[in-house]
Amino acid sequence: MKTIVIALAWLFWVALQIQAASADGWTIAAPREEIRPQFEQSETGGKSGHGTLAIRADEREGLHGWWQKTFPVKGGQFYRFSAWRHTEGISLPRRSVLARIVWRDDKGKEVERHQSVLTNFSLGVIARAEPEYPSVSKVDKDDWVEMSGVYEAPPGAAQARVELHLLWAPKGKVEWSDVSFQATEAPPPRKVRLASVHYRPKDAKTPMDACRQFAPLIEEAAHRHADLVVLGEILTYAGVGSTYADCAESIPGASTDYFGELAKKHGLYVVAGLIERDRHQLFNVAVLIGPDGKVAGKYRKVCLPDGEYDKGMSPGSDYPVFETRLGKIGMMICYDGFFPEVARELSNAGAEIIAWPVWGCNPEQARARACENQVYVVSSTYEDVSRNWMLTAVYGQDGSVLAQAKKWGTVCVAEVDLNQRTLWPWLGDFKAQIPHQRPVARGE
């Protein structure tokens, strides 16, 4: 009898929770009853004091539940989602706290998506309008975090179910607040033109002689309205053929000053591979030079092969990403491309474009680095196309080659829209899912 009373009391409590949650359209859900966390709705508190939708997990592993509410939508109309969340006792919010938007037709069924989906994979598949995953867009000083995004309702959609999740967080709690889902204007395009130079300097007597050989190629990129142009790896050493130490210089230094003049003259960004001297150490670096002629940032090659570390090169240890007028740019160098961790660290930091001075590498790895991170990769190599090895190219987010320079002394250019999402069959916007679904890094 006692067991029955307890069960009835628990069911009554659940009914009260659902009834309270439904007062303004929010209801609660879980994949299975046995892993349902606790839910609580408050009319006060939250980011702006207008109330919260809370989810709390007990000490058990694997609990998962969410608040949900359905909004009417019109196919082709853009909508902006925003919600603020505050967490307690959650070690890794990127894995355990997520918002999701699910498109449905007027009968609550899945919606097909016939446009803007990659068709060179999963041939013959009719794609569905997969869920959307808003990303972190703002962190407030009081530890409230905004998750937001702008999405176009697919043709045939009549409903958008907004879901606010907590999962896999024993003893964790999340409070959701100030949730909005409203019609808005389409986001403007962010079109940029990415260029790469297929050239290895030759017969240079000094490092500056090697730098000067790139001037007409940078001019060609500018003539083709490039916003960013990528040059080769340690180009001063490649052109002179001396020692690393003889070709090393400070950053900023003579070479960056020279490329800075060209960047300013042509109003574009230049990425040049150089050798940096920092006191007694030498680094293989990629330097980002802005259209103001100044060094906007540098990256020190992390993965050093034979031929570099055994000749006294030192590895870098950071993965900086630089905010520019084009977008967020990261850099890696040659051997870095053999290891997925470098490009992943850059994409984790928000890189939209990875510039890659690369002496030589497997082009399949170039495709992989672009595809697995859903970023644009711009490579400049010293390999001849006849060798069937690395390409001077611009790779799309799906790993495809958007543009390639095949002849020596030529420039390839591709125009991309950084606001244009790459949608996959079965996956939808995979890039938006990476933060939540990628594995937990050791020490994270």
C-alpha to C-alpha distance for 268 and 266, rounded to whole angstroms: 6
Q: How far is CA 326 from CA 101, 228, 268, 383, in A?
A: 29, 9, 10, 28
247 in catalytic set: no
C-alpha to C-alpha distance for 236 and 206, rounded to whole angstroms: 8
- Is the sign of the CA dihedral 335, 336, 341, 343 positive or negative? negative
C-alpha to C-alpha distance for 334 and 352, rounded to whole angstroms: 19
Partner residues linked to 88 by β-bridges: 173
Partner residues linked to 68 by β-bridges: 27, 163
**How many other CB atoms are there within 10 angstroms of residue 132's CB atom?**
23
Q: Where are the beta strands (DSSP E) in 116-251?
A: 135-139, 145-152, 159-167, 173-184, 191-198, 228-230
Query: Would you list the DSSP string of 195-229?
Result: EEEE----S-SSHHHHHHTTHHHHHHHHHTT-SEE
Using DSSP's 3-state secondary structure scheme, residue 58 falls into coil
C-alpha to C-alpha distance for 269 and 249, rounded to whole angstroms: 21
C-alpha to C-alpha distance for 8 and 25, rounded to whole angstroms: 25
Sheet holding 135-139, edge to edge: 38-42, 52-56, 173-184, 78-88, 145-152, 135-139
Which is the catalytic residue, given 132, 146, 152, 233?
233
- Phi, psi angles (nearest 5°) of residue 240: -100, -40
431 in catalytic set: no
Specify the residue for token string 């680095």. 369
Structural tokens at position 269:
């960004």
Rounded (5°) CA angle 137-138-140: 165
Which is the catalytic residue, given 47, 301, 328, 431?
301
233 in catalytic set: yes
Specify the residue for token string 């083709």. 224
Structural tokens at position 180:
């909005």
CB 270 within 8 A of CB 329: no
Element (H, E) at 376: strand 376-381
Specify the residue for token string 């994270």. 444
Structural tokens at position 175:
């409070």
CB 342 within 8 A of CB 302: yes
Which is the catalytic residue, given 211, 247, 303, 334?
334
Catalogue the active-site residues: 233, 301, 334
